[in-house]
Chains A and B, each alone.
Chain A
Amino acid sequence: MPIITVDGVEYEVAAGRTLLQALDDLGVLMNGVDIPHYCWHPKLSVDGSCRLCQVEVEGIPKLQIACDTPVKDGMVIHTKNDRVKRAREGVMELLLVNHPLDCPICDQAGECKLQDYAYAYGVPHSRTKEPRRAAKKRVDLGPTIVLDQERCILCRRCVRFCREVPGTGELGTFGRGDRTVLDTFPGIALDNDYSMNVADICPVGALTTKDFRFKIRTWFLDEIPGVCTGCANGCNIFIGVANNKVYRYVPRRNDAVNQTWMCDAGRMSYKEIETADRLTGVSVRGPSGALEPAPLSTGIRVAAERLRRVADAKGASVIVGFGSAHATNEDLFTLRRLLSGLGTEAAAVPVVTGKADALLVKAEKAANGSGARALGFAEPGRVIERIRGGGADAAIVLGHDLLDASFLGDTADLARLDTVILLDSRRSDLERVAHVVFPTRHAAEKSGTLTNHAGRVQRILQAVEPRFESYADGEVLHRLGIALGLAGFEGDYDVRAVSREMARSVPAFAGIDLGSLGGEGAVLAGSKGEGER
């Protein structure tokens, strides 16, 4: 493998890579080796026009752009000398000549590469006395994106993105020279399933999302690493939180799972956290037949009593459990242990499916179908048959996907059961047939692990605390286990301890638990992972 020297430090790199690619492969680009750049992006074709990534390559008289310089064994690169400094200053000064002084009203401020690089590599003051170019501001490009043409530095990342990733090509540059502008074709809006990624890759505030517009200054946000739960792809994200409120999801790079992208639907799924129909308290069906609010301890006691009664009367095999593909591995592991402890193996998981695409979107519209299956939750068919055939009399149900037309369709079958214990984050018709209802947390409100379509287990860390009563499913089930006097259930619910136990006792999860996982996840034993990307 070729060895290159950058600022006196040797690096072993892969042949056939450009300098920026090689440094990016090693994880040192802008993280030890600073080569600022605009138009280059690790997942898009090379453009080479911003000229900011110029470096000195010994033996070549002119400075070379690192994005288009193939590595060669023995290459010696300088990125910190005066020549490179002056070249960067030149580019930065020229970029700022026509750039509008919009920082005070621009959403990009705080995460703007023009600000960052002007500060780090630019000149301290502007020499221009000329009026700046005027172009269109606040252009509605489509359902999700707003364009400010004046701010655009014409790196054309967005144009390449639309052509190369979703393949829709809505964006283009028009005109010539310093009158060139970015725009769409009149009447053909920027409207594809991945449109909001252009706001991420835009180094400046030319392309911003309507959803985030003017909501909050980026420097108030904590960006907490997380995983999108919109489908089984498990795109890695950062959850932008301020004052215990989630303001946005943005993609987090994971070359195996989602590269640097996420779909618009997943990106907007943060809105599920604060919907009006969240379940906000425990309730128990009273003698009048209506569900009445109750403290957690009462809910647990009533649920345990009912389950005991049914088991004693008809045997444990009449108890069935439906996991949720939205729950974490730890939640589901706890449910499985609970059901086994009670003496029943009837565990199923209904997973709602929809359209998939060739990029990131998967058919399973929940994050943890694979995890549920790996933990022993089967297709719901058999268990539903048992319920319909009269072979079941009590059910513990997580979530309400069970009501989807592809499974039960309605509550009629469940209405005949003696006991239905429901754990859910949102309201649904299932409440009508439940005897005890526990409010549960959204993925962003708890810690745990999720297993994506390719068997990759990824961790989520709690980002926000619900403002109402809400519990991780695992916690409710743990308390239920204690109330039922089952072995292995004692003390407080500790998700990390549960995760370790899961790794210890489930062969597929060997060595994979919340505490040991890194930001990139790990693939279950026996799964093939996502493959080359």
Chain B
Amino acid sequence: MVSRQSDHSQGSERSGEERPGRISRETRAKIEAEMVKFPVKRGALLNALHLVQSETGYISQETIEELAELFEIHPADLRGVVSFYNMFHEHPQGRHHAHVCTNLSCSLRGARALLRELEGHLGVRSGETTADQRITLAHEECLGACAYAPVMRVDETYHEDLDLERAKKLLDELE
């Protein structure tokens, strides 16, 4: 029995008018502004993916197809790039990311025990999202804050010198 791939159209043909896509006009403009900074427009890809993900929360298949057209590369090629990096997500995420560093310096100072407590507190396992879609909890590799371990990155902000109470409070305050 040979498994079938999902049936999906290859993408509509280029038309003159703007298609309603997943990437907003604003973000598109930002991406185009990035492209001119690089000798080859593909150089702007990682910056573009960050821009798109900050808008849509994750990089969907449709987004990949749209970006592939914009950057003139094959979707398989682009998805290969997206799937290589920890920070890009191909599935919907919680509204907030809470990542606890579990590398050596942080583990030495109790980071893993902290993560386990937070798992219990939120009712999810590391890598999962809370039922209300509020928080995706995960572990992360060294964040570059080793002297202030344990460290948690919440979205774009580092929270250092954590203890369990402070960590829980931080998470509870997230909407």
Contacts and interface: CB of A to CB of B under 8 A. Distances in A.
Interface string A104-136: 000000000000000000000000000000001
Contacts of A210: 2
A75 interface: no
B10 interface: yes
Contact of A174 (B6, B7, B79): B79
Nearest to B86: A176
A138 interface: yes
B10 A186 contact: no
B76 A170 contact: yes
A6 interface: no
Given A138-B2, A138-B3, A140-B2, A185 B76 contact: yes
A146 B2 contact: yes
Contacts of B77: 169, 172
Nearest to A190: B76
A184 B64 CA distance: 13
Contacts of A188: 10, 74-76
A176 B4 CA distance: 24
B29 interface: no
B83 interface: yes
B76 A187 contact: no
Interface in B73-120: 74-77, 79-80, 83-84
A28 interface: no
A2 B83 CA distance: 45
A472 to B, nearest CB: 41
Nearest to B83: A174
A83 to B, nearest CB: 33
B44 to A, nearest CB: 20
A175 B83 contact: yes
Given A138-B3, A185-B79, A175 B8 contact: no
**Counting chain A CB atoms within 10 Å of each CB, which of B5, B9, B64, B79 scores highest?**
B5
Nearest to A213: B2
B40 interface: no
Contacts of B84: 174-176
B133 interface: no
B5 A184 contact: yes
Contacts of A171: 76
Interface residues of A, number: 23
Given A138-B1, A185-B74, A186-B61, A172 B6 contact: no
Given A172-B80, A174-B79, A187 B10 contact: yes
Nearest to B8: A187
Contacts of B8: 186-187
Interface in B1-55: 1-10
Contacts of A189: 5
A172 B79 contact: yes
Nearest to B64: A185
A507 B175 CA distance: 89
B43 to A, nearest CB: 19
A139 B79 contact: no
A391 B137 CA distance: 90
Give the most central of A168, A183, A189: most B CB within 10 Å.
A183
**Most B-side CB within 10 Å, residue of A139, A186, A189:** A186
B74 A170 contact: yes
Contacts of B10: 187-188
A172 B77 CA distance: 6
Nearest to B68: A185
Interface in A137-189: 138-141, 146, 168-176, 183-189
A183 B61 CA distance: 14
A210 B2 CA distance: 10
Interface in B56-71: 61, 64
Contacts of B74: 168-170, 172, 185, 188
Contacts of B7: 187
A140 B7 CA distance: 12
A172 B3 contact: no
A187 B2 contact: no
Contacts of A141: 5
Interface in A204-227: 210
Nearest to A142: B5
27 contacts: A136-B3, A138-B2, A139-B2, A139-B3, A140-B3, A140-B4, A140-B5, A170-B74, A170-B76, A172-B74, A172-B76, A172-B79, A173-B80, A174-B83, A176-B83, A183-B76, A184-B5, A184-B76, A185-B76, A186-B5, A186-B6, A186-B8, A187-B6, A187-B10, A188-B10, A188-B76, A210-B2
Interface of A: 136, 138-141, 146, 168-176, 183-189, 210
Given A140-B5, A187-B7, 13 more contacts: A138-B2, A139-B3, A140-B2, A141-B5, A169-B74, A170-B74, A172-B80, A174-B84, A175-B83, A175-B84, A184-B5, A185-B75, A187-B6
The 6 closest A-B pairs by CB, nearest first: A187-B8, A172-B76, A172-B80, A185-B76, A169-B74, A174-B83
